[in-house]
Structure 1
């Protein structure tokens, strides 16, 4: 995700991120941080529901009457909560988690409507059972703000209507006595949810802004040190060498695992370069590499890093680029090389380039694995002009 400066963080907090993809990345990052607390939330929720049953006497009544149906229902409910918690901990994508939490919240309010249908619970006020519902409402803090409010409104309205419709004679009394208190509780919950989301966004944008400032400082320090040292620079082209590219890629891969950003590489190999060097000499061959490096640099973004990784091979690091975005870049570079750069050389030299693309995923998360995947994809095509990506 493109990281906002610290001074612009408030826009992301109160107005949201400008691109839908940034919102998805924020949600995925937030879910990865929150997932470890879900088991505790579910444990407290189950404890509060059991406390509600004990407080209202339903648990004791079922025990005294040896009601096996109620006992079986309670056991099935506890088992379902255990299964749902386990499933939630396996979820990676935030959107799937949001859907599951919406279902859990709706399930909870249906349960409350069923419990409120009991004759012994007619004296229980709406604010009282809402207090016992607060643990499940913690799940609303996992969902996007407007989705959380919508689920809260729909689910609670359904449960109240369902419970009151079972006792028509008490419906008017409920609206007169409980509507104001319930509305105040809903307003308080909406305020707490809004504050929670804003605090999360502020923390996320602040941390990313700090990272961006640190990165800029590192780049500036690196640039000044490179003026006195050539350890990170290719002597022939003046661009980065593979040592610098490895450092750059390791930082981007670490950031990818932290913020769920994408990172891809584009590997470019010159075909028949050794034949060209044998025919025209090493000086002309070196000039070709310099011209090629300058040409490639003109076709990529400022945030991308071009490096020479072998005698006749270049690699480009593409931060925040998914596989499809990297393929778009590769196709654009591939077409430009064929239509602009290689046209400057005679056809009898048979010069060309092969490109390979690779992106980090669940099985490819190191620079060596990325390079191997891109090289394998590139080597699948031996023609003078080919583009492939790692699978």
Structure 2
């Protein structure tokens, strides 16, 4: 797939959610946090076709409920407002009223109808939004000093150590199509989905039903294939807005370049997902697990995700210990049928298991390989032709430090 993507798609240097035509963004400090930016927004000049995917946690925060309601009216959005620092989750009826008020105040400030606004929150669970500060922040939106995609990218962060953005371009119907994205996420990451937010914009004209189907499919192969710590949050969502400003013929499954567009959307989401995994709380390494030779894609996804979720695997990678036994163990408890006598495992370029049995390898060289910033694990089940990739990070002492004092 990667070769297909790179053949048609160009990365945009410095690209972000405002790379597509007709989008602006910004961020500011309204006082939810002590000092850092904590209120961000994305705005489209015209209503955009919209789709969303949401956490499967049964404690869904009020902002998700309000955003779902907005999109359900006519599958369109024109603006997104995001606060960080307070999740507005487990806040009861008052939390829901606050989420509606957040939407209403922002819709008035932007001059758009309520149902064209999405809201999102991230931060501490069980705390009510300081609505007076939030509304004061909304009143400042639109001033030049608060405009800019980088300000939005900073305003949505919690324990993240860096902003996460991307934009790509491709040609469809002779028109240049741009797709941009921004995300946050560092801990409580084990989608379906986790404490992560992702926002994707495009100036392509896309059929609403097709966009929703594509987003769900892409999410299964990207955001739902990352993990940091195995915890799924209450607030996560991925939103995509397509405003049609590129003036292409409407994209859907019957368009001859539909797969190119979908591949570009997947590339944007994959890169954002990998950036989230690499920025895991306290992480020092990105881990990529490649599973091939599976009987089904679902089995490949499940097994790769099980390996990347293993705390024993993650701590071994942190300690640069080529302990392949932990990988084999994770494969075995993945709850997917395998033939242990066919399994192959490699740590990067070092084959360590062949047909379920250990191979000789140079431990010093393998240990040196595990010191790299990106570590790859390869598994061949030799049961079929399906494959998948999952992404995660190592588990370090700093993860415990960060989460032991999260609220203080």
More strand by share: 2
TM-score of the aligned structures, taking structure 2 as reference length: 0.19
TM-score of the aligned structures, taking structure 1 as reference length: 0.20
More helix by share: 1
